[in-house]
RNA sequence: CGACACCCAGUGUC
DNA sequence: GACACTGGGTGTCG
């Protein structure tokens, strides 16, 4: 239960239970300082050719944008016809895609204190990708650096991606 | 300039420029593991009878407590009427006695994330010792294991002290 | 105020 | 390569 999030509003068309599990992570060396360099990693499984280690593009090299970009990459690079669970250590990323995002779609992406929600571009993009699927996408929170193999691998990919600038 | 810290708020009463230089270091074999044994070393100069190599007392045998204890020993065992520079490789120890300590004296020893500052007993003790002097106490950071003779000697004394339990 | 991340720095070790 | 001891900060939300 704990740490498990699911997007609703879909029907399962098929019935073949090929549930996909993907681990995502973001990194930003020097986060918050000028000259920060971010990267993201996506881990599908050992020796899986879809595994990804990439530098973040764009001028805002923050940890949060890296986390969101990793999620969007997983959304785009997975079978859209089979259920997917994205395992992330970012509560911010998960909630932006689920509970917070649901509210923001209704209030015009306004923060509880009235400001504009940051990183809207990436959040809207991810939520569009989820909405365009006909099978469920779930999110599961995994504590960082807790010995979880998938998270550890995604972390390495993300850190490495940040060095590729 | 770099790595040089000074405590303010004093007047030089005398004028005899007998500036003292002392090297301090702490060690803790098995730091962080149960059964760790810590020690500290203070080096005043070759063949100086004040040179010290001692095991750390108390139940918390950490590297940080050893570093702070070495500094406090130097403060207590030096001429309080002549300027003193303490050379340490511990940024933690130096900043606890200077810039961080200044803030903590005003905020009740609260960490930037709200928690209680660790090793307060030793930090308050050292800052009291400094405040009770009528001549300046300065701190200088020396990189560890960099071939600095004073630091190397203090390191040996500290390591040896840890073995005296 | 709380939460989850992302760091930066210096030590101490195994 | 790994871990522990400690502090400072930003990214973002409720």
What pLDDT digit, counting tens, does each position of B22-49 carry? 999 999 999 999 999 999 999 999 999 9
Contact A3, A32 (CB under 8 A): no
CA distance A18 to A135: 11
Residue B163, helix vs strand vs coil: coil
Contact residues for A147 (Cβ-Cβ < 8 A; gap 6+): none
Rounded, the Å distance between the CA of A101 and C1' of D6 is 37
Residue A62, token pair as written in the block:
């923050």
**Alpha-carbon separation of residue A22 from A1, A52, A72, A143, B127 (angstroms):** 18, 11, 12, 15, 52
Nucleotide C12, nearest residue via CA and C1': B63
Under DSSP, the state recorded for A99 is H
Residues 125-154 of A with CB under 7 A from strand C: 141, 143-145
Q: Quick one: what percent of chain B has pLDDT higher than 90?
A: 88
A28 has a pLDDT exceeding 70 = yes
* Digit-coded pLDDT (tens) for B112-146: 999 999 999 999 999 999 999 989 999 999 999 99
Q: Assess whether B29 (CB) lies less than 7 A from strand D.
A: no
CA distance B20 to B138: 10
Rounded, the Å distance between the CA of A97 and C1' of D14 is 15
B86 has a pLDDT exceeding 50 = yes
- How long, in residues, is chain A? 165
Highest mean pLDDT of the ranges A7-11, A141-145, B2-6: A141-145
CA distance B49 to B35: 31
Which of strand D's nucleotides are less than 7 A from any protein C-beta? 3-14
Q: Quick one: what percent of chain B has pLDDT higher than 70?
A: 90
Mean pLDDT of A112-136: 97
Rounded, the Å distance between the CA of B136 and C1' of D3 is 38
CA distance B85 to B83: 7
H-helix or E-strand containing B27? Answer: strand B20-29
Residue B116, token pair as written in the block:
């209680």
Mean pLDDT of A134-154: 95
Residues 112-131 of B with CB under 7 A from strand C: 114
Question: Which pLDDT belongs to residue B1?
Answer: 32
Residue B120, token pair as written in the block:
């307060």
Catalogue the E-assigned strands of A17-136. Answer: 20-29, 37-43, 52-55, 84-88
CATH topology for the A2-163 domain: Nucleotidyltransferase; domain 5 (3.30.420)
- How long, in residues, is chain B? 165
């Amino acid at each position: 239960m704990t740490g498990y999030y699911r997007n609703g509003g879909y029907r399962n068309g098929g019935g073949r239970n090929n549930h996909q599990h993907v681990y995502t992570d973001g990194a930003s060396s020097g986060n918050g300082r000028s000259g920060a360099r971010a990267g993201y990693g996506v881990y599908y499984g050992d020796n899986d050719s879809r595994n990804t280690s990439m530098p973040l593009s764009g001028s805002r090299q923050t940890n949060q944008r890296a986390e969101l970009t990793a999620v969007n990459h997983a959304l785009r690079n997975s079978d859209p016809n089979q259920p997917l669970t994205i395992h992330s250590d970012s509560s911010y990323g998960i909630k932006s895609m689920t509970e917070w995002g649901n509210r923001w779609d209704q209030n015009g992406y306004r923060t509880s204190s009235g400001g504009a929600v940051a990183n809207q571009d990436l959040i809207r993009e991810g939520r569009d990708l989820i909405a365009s699927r006909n099978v469920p996408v779930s999110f599961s929170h995994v504590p960082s650096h807790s010995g979880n193999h998938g998270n550890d691998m995604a972390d390495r990919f993300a850190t490495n991606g940040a060095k590729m600038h």
